[in-house]
Amino acid sequence: MSKLAVLAAGGTGGHMFPAQSLAEELLRRGWRVALATDKRGLAYSGGFPDGVERRALKAATPSRGGLLAKIAAPLALFSGTLEALKWFREGRPDVVIGFGGYPAAPATAAAIRMKIPRIIHEQNAVLGRANKLFVKRVDLLACGIGKPLNTPDGVQSVIVGNPIRDAALAVSDMPYLPVAEGAINLLAFGGSQGAKALSDTVPRALALLPEPVRRRLKVTLQVRDDGLAAAQAVLSDAGITAEAAAFFDDMPQRIAGAHLVIARAGASTCAELSAIGRPAILVPLPSATGDHQTANARSLEEGGGAILLPESQMSAQGLSDTMASLFADPARLVQMAAQAKTHGRPAAASDLADLVEDHAARGKA
């Protein structure tokens, strides 16, 4: 029977997308693949191939909610670990790979208890809470953006990059077309959970652009449901051609077609921007654990592929001025696209799959 890999991931795109990419690669290599998450995480698993088994284990996040939620969270995680142990005893995995988020904790804890080979993949420049909890008890830490700043001493690590989905890999060779006299394609999105700050500010910033620029704009805007009508009204009043929606299922293709991207600085977003090679204005999520999105964005900014704009410093006028200066300097956008591309790791999924196969073969506990 083919070897079995269990991929454990929390319920956001930042954890799910690299897990999905690894699943696609392992299936190509003849592996059986299962996804371990929670009920909320299943909502983000639609992009996984049909051949991936999905298991919802009990889990909760102890860092959110009121006192009762904080008390209940450890009980939910313990219950989920018992579920994972039962599952693994019925069909022992050859390796378990954790991608972070507390929904990944039960399967990771069960792998430790049963001495199953195990790897953690950290997408960000700072270890997330769940990964930090387990990182000293796994065989290897695979790193997406360099070795995380808060990695404990003695942890064996290797940099593989952040795996990107097949859909992103398919458009990674599309050339960047300079801004000419025609349409200017702008893409703005806030990640799998949206971003109210971007939903509110980006339309107002676009409306402040000079009329000749507004006339050329073709905008794709991901906006939360509760802000959709307001965003559409602002863009329509400014005479801007726009497509606004709460979710787009073809985001890699939209990134590839953009002259400029405005986005949060999640690890998957940065990985796809780099692999495809598109210039960006990155607005890190202020509440991200350990301010990891700022660290993610800084690596691209220092390489010349992006502009880092802290949310605390973002205004509609300031963002508008930044966009206007970029649109007026097509050569700079071309250079930013090229610099972003130098950070891309399109082989990350293959490299991570190599590590998975190596550790499964060694049977290291």
61-90 pLDDT per residue, tens: 776 666 676 777 889 999 999 999 999 999
**What are the residue boundaries of the structural domains of the chain, listed by start?**
4-164+346-362, 169-342
Whether the CB-CB separation of 2 and 31 falls below 8 Å is answered with yes
125-154 pLDDT per residue, tens: 889 999 999 999 999 999 998 898 899 999
d(CA 205, CA 197): 12
CATH architecture of structural domain 4-164+346-362: 3-Layer(aba) Sandwich (3.40)
pLDDT for the residue 365: 44
Q: What pLDDT band is residue 309 in, cutting at 50, 70 and 90?
A: very high
168-227 pLDDT per residue, tens: 999 999 999 999 878 999 999 986 555 788 988 999 999 999 999 999 999 999 988 888
Average pLDDT, the chain: 92
Residue with tokens 């971007």: 198
d(CA 120, CA 197): 32
Q: In what order do the strands lie in the sheet with 157-159?
A: 53-56, 32-37, 4-8, 95-98, 118-122, 140-143, 157-159
pLDDT for the residue 74: 87
Q: 4-164+346-362 and 169-342 share one CATH topology? A: yes
d(CA 44, CA 210): 39
Give the class (CATH, top level) of 169-342: alpha beta
Segment holding 339, helix H or strand E: helix 330-342
pLDDT mean over 291-304: 92
What tokens does 73 get?
């969270």
d(CA 10, CA 26): 19
